[in-house]
Amino acid sequence: MCYAKIAGRFRCYRLSLSAPNLEIIYLRNYRSIRDYLPEDHSSQQSLHHYIEMFFAKHPKSVKVLDLGCGEGNSIDLFRKFGDDVAWHGVDIENSPEVKQRIRESDLLSSFNGVDLPYPDNYFDLIFCHQVLEHVRYPDALISDALRVLKPNGLFVGSVSYLEPYHSYSIFNFTPYRVVRVFQDAGFELKEIRPGVDVSVLINRQLLNRSKLLRPIWKHNFLYGITGLIGSIFSLGHRERNFLKIQFSGHLVFLAKRPDK
C-alpha cells in the first residue's frame, strides 16, 4: 500500500487533534518499523505461537536456551514437545526470580549478564520471555546470544514497552529499539507483533493482581479501540499492527541468525 493512501487514512488524527504535523509524524514512525509488521493477522501474539511454529518445522532433538530463565519453569513447557528436547536455562544469580527458585538441575546455569557460558553455534532456539527490560547491557548480551545460536537458529522473545516499572526493570524497549539492537548484533529481525495491551498491565498493577478483580483488569481495552478504528477506516493488518503496537505493554518478536 502506498504511503499516500496510508497518510489519508491517518489524516483523521491530524484533523481531530488540530495538529498539522501529526500526519508526518505517523508516517515517519510507520516507515521506521513497517518492514517488520506482519500482514497475515493483527491479533495479540504470544511466545507459545512461535514455539509451536518452531517445533512444527524442526525435529524434537534440538537444543533450547531459556535466556533469563528465573525459576526455570519453562523446562516443563518445552518437555511437552518431547523428551529429546535439550533444555538449558541461564540467569544472573541475584535476580528476584532466581531467589524464588525451588527446582534444582544441572541444566541451570548462572552468568554475569553478558557472557553466556556456552560454546559457539550451540543452540537451535533461544527463548527470552520478559527479560531484556531487566538487562543492564542488552546490546552486549544480544551480541553474545548470536554467538551461541546456530546459523538459521531462531530467537523468540517478548519485552516490555509501555509496561509500568516492575521487578527492577531498567530499559523498556520501543519497537524501533528492538529493530536496532537485534540488527546491530547481526540478527535478521523477522517480525514484531503486539503482545498484551498496556491497559491490562496498568490495571493489573493498580489493582495489585487481585484475583477477585481479574475480570476487570484482564481485558485489552485499548486494543478494542484500535480495532474499532481499524474497522472504520478499513485498515489492513499491517496498519492495525502498527496502531496496536503503539499501545502495547509487551512487544513480541522473532529474529533469526543468518546462515552465514
Please state, in angstroms and rounded to a whole number, the distance separating the CA atoms of residues 75 and 72. Answer: 6
User: Which pTM value belongs to this model?
Assistant: 0.90
**Superfamily (CATH H level) for 37-256:** Vaccinia Virus protein VP39 (3.40.50.150)
Question: What does the alpha-carbon distance between residue 232 and residue 224 come to, in Å, rounded to a whole number?
Answer: 12
Task: State the pLDDT at residue 19.
Answer: 47
> What gap in Å lies between CA 257 and CA 151, rounded to an integer?
5
Q: What is the 3-state secondary structure (H, E, C) of 125-171?
A: EEEEECCHHHCCCHHHHHHHHHHHEEEEEEEEEEEECCCCCCCCCCC
Whole-number pLDDT of residue 13: 46
Per-residue pLDDT at 99: 87
Q: What gap in Å lies between CA 164 and CA 68, rounded to an integer?
A: 20
Is the model's pLDDT at 129 over the cut of 90? yes
Contact 155, 187 (CB under 8 A): yes
Q: DSSP state, 255?
A: E
10 vs 171: which has the higher pLDDT: 171
How far from chain centre, in Å, is Cα 132?
A: 9
Question: Concatenated DSSP letters for 31-92?
Answer: HHHGGGS-SS--S---HHHHHHHHHHHS-S--EEEEET-TT-THHHHHHTT-TT-EEEEEE-
**Cα→Cα distances 155→18, 65, 125, 252, Å:** 42, 10, 6, 11
What pLDDT, on the 0 to 100 scale, is given for residue 16? 47
Indicate whether 6 pLDDT > 80.
no
18-22, 106-110, 150-154, 199-203: segment of lowest average pLDDT: 18-22
**pLDDT band with cut points at 50, 70 and 90 for residue 234:** confident
- In which band, very low, low, confident or very high, does the pLDDT at 110 lie, cut at 50, 70 and 90? very high
Cell numbers 501529526 correspond to what residue?
Answer: 22
Q: Minimal CA–CA distance to 139: which of 111, 178, 176?
A: 178
Domain positions in the chain are: 37-256
How far is the C-alpha of 226 from the C-alpha of 234, rounded, in Å? Answer: 12
User: Distance between CA 112 and CA 114 in Å, rounded?
Assistant: 6
Dig out the grid coordinates for 234 from the structure: 478499513
The one-letter amino acid code at 224 reads G
* Grid coordinates belonging to 250: 509487551
Confidence band, pLDDT 50/70/90 cuts, at residue 25: low
